[in-house]
Amino acid sequence: MSKEKTRSATSMDSTNRIVTVPNAITLLRIACLPVFCWVLFGLNDRAGAAILLGALGATDWVDGWVARRFNQTSALGEIMDPVADRLLFFVGIIAIAVDGSAPLVLCVLVLAREAAVSVATLVLAAMGAQRVSVTWIGKTGAFVLMFAFPLFLMSNADVPGTQWWELAAWICGISGTVIAYVSALGYIPLARQALRSRNVLE
């Protein structure tokens, strides 16, 4: 077997792997969401829930970095990672909205954008297109928002400096929402291209 065929076979085997460290990290992030809800509602510990949710958001890049650094990318991981991110948004934001720690209007705006992108992804995928990578501006908006909502929780927790937590939350919330919607508009031409070239918006 030639070296090229060997490399190709190795790459295919790597892509088809299921049990990898990045996939385990992604599963751990998903498994922590019920823990977050328990800490928030069961223990009534807003500060603890905020720290946990913030940590889950901050580690969003870890699984991807491990996959690239140690050549552990997989087809399953490419599907699981965006699913984990959207679950983090929906579960986290809905829980915080129910708790009353974040403005309902902001929660609805963020969730509406995520729902629209998710529906667009499913529709284009159903039409037989392939996925394309999320844009850097989309990643930036998501990263900022992943800190905004834990900050809103902290601003309603029994901790010092609640006014500063709230200020930081509003800064991240407003800027993150604007960036997220700008990125959503940027996906419109990509969606059109996806229909032509069979690439689907991720």
Residue spans of the domains in the chain: they are 3-201
Residue 157's closest CA among 87, 96, 93?
96
Helix count and strand count (H, E) for the chain = 8, 2
The answer to whether the beta carbons of residues 179 and 137 sit under 8 Å apart is: yes
Considering the segment(s) 3-201 as one domain, its CATH architecture is Up-down Bundle (1.20)
Q: Name the stretches of the chain with pLDDT < 70.
A: 1-18, 63, 70, 72, 74-78, 128-133, 191, 194, 198-202
Q: Is 154 in contact with 165 (CB distance < 8 Å)? A: yes
Work out the burial of residue 118: count CB atoms within 10 Å of its CB; fewer than 13 is exposed, 13-18 middle, 19 or more buried.
middle
Res 19: pLDDT: 72
Q: What is the pLDDT of residue 97?
A: 96
pLDDT digits (tens, 9 = 90+) for 159-184: 999 999 999 999 999 999 999 999 98
At 185, is the secondary structure helix, strand, or coil? helix
4 DSSP 8-state letter: H
pLDDT at residue number 132: 58
d(CA 30, CA 56): 9
Task: Give the model's pLDDT for residue 23.
Answer: 80
Question: pLDDT value at position 129?
Answer: 67
What pLDDT does residue 11 have? 43
